[in-house]
């Protein structure tokens, strides 16, 4: 198990922050060369958007499309 913390200027909606946090965690894991990693989140909105593979053209949708 590993953990990463970070700080960002808080001008985001909550769901956008959740998506950016997941994206940053995935980038970090890839940079460490790890594979078959499971991520957990309590954001149903984020999980539903990832499963749907479409979250629209909003800021949130753009972030999710990069996950």
21 found inside a domain: yes
- Tens digits of per-residue pLDDT, 37-49? 999 999 999 999 8
Classify residue 18: in a domain, yes or no.
Answer: yes
pLDDT higher than threshold 80 for residue 24: yes
Instruction: Report yes or no on 20 lying in a domain.
Output: yes
Query: What pLDDT does 8 receive?
Result: 64
Question: Is the pLDDT reported for residue 1 higher than 80?
Answer: no
Q: Residue 27 and residue 44: Cα distance in Å, rounded?
A: 21
**23 lies in some domain:** yes
Is residue 56 domain-resident? yes
Higher pLDDT, 22 or 4: 22
3-state secondary structure of 5: coil
User: Average pLDDT of 55-65?
Assistant: 80
DSSP-derived 3-state class of residue 24:
helix
- Overall domain count for the chain: 1
Average pLDDT, the chain: 85
Q: What is the span of the domain harbouring residue 49?
A: 14-33+41-66
In a domain, 9, yes or no: no
DSSP 42: S
């Amino acid at each position: 198990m590993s953990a990463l913390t970070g700080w960002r200027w808080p001008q985001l909606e909550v769901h956008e922050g959740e998506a950016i946090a997941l994206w940053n965690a995935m980038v970090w894991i890839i940079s460490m060369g790890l594979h078959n990693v499971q991520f957990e989140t309590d954001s149903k909105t984020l999980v539903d958007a990832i499963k749907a593979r479409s979250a629209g053209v909003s800021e949130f949708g753009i972030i999710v499309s990069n996950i």
